[in-house]
């Protein structure tokens, strides 16, 4: 299977990217891993990506690496996550 399959959803891509970041930070000292993941996501992911990320984290999506889940408490949560939006 190819890593760039056209049928991958946006959620699949976010999980993949978050887990790739976690894989990188596993080489860092244990006490810096979650903060490093959060720092990277805070710096490089736009609000729309973080909104989708938290929607999946809040639902308990099991595809995330445990380090990503641990880092979620340090990631800037967009103000409107969990709020009803108007169409």
Q: List, for residues 33-69, the tens digit of each pLDDT value.
A: 999 999 999 999 999 999 999 999 999 999 999 999 9
Q: Does residue 64 lie in a domain region?
A: yes
How many domains, the chain? 1
Decide: 28 and 36 in contact? Cβ < 8 Å.
yes
Q: Does residue 70 lie in a domain region?
A: yes
Q: By residue range, what is the domain housing residue 48?
A: 10-74
Q: Does residue 15 lie in a domain region?
A: yes
Identify the pLDDT of residue 80: 72
Q: How far apart are CA 18 and CA 38, in angstroms?
A: 10
Q: Does residue 43 lie in a domain region?
A: yes
Q: How far apart are CA 77 and CA 87, in angstroms?
A: 21
pLDDT digits (tens, 9 = 90+) for 13-41: 999 999 999 999 999 999 999 999 999 99
Identify the pLDDT of residue 87: 38
Q: Does residue 83 lie in a domain region?
A: no
Identify the pLDDT of residue 79: 83
């Amino acid at each position: 299977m190819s890593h760039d399959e056209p049928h991958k959803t946006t959620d699949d891509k976010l999980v993949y990217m978050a887990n790739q970041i976690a894989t990188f930070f596993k080489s860092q000292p244990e006490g810096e891993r979650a903060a490093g993941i959060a720092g990277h996501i805070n710096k490089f992911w736009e609000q729309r990506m973080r909104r989708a990320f938290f929607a999946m984290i809040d639902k308990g999506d099991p595809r995330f690496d445990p380090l990503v889940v641990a880092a979620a408490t340090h990631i800037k949560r967009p103000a409107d996550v969990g709020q009803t939006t108007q169409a």
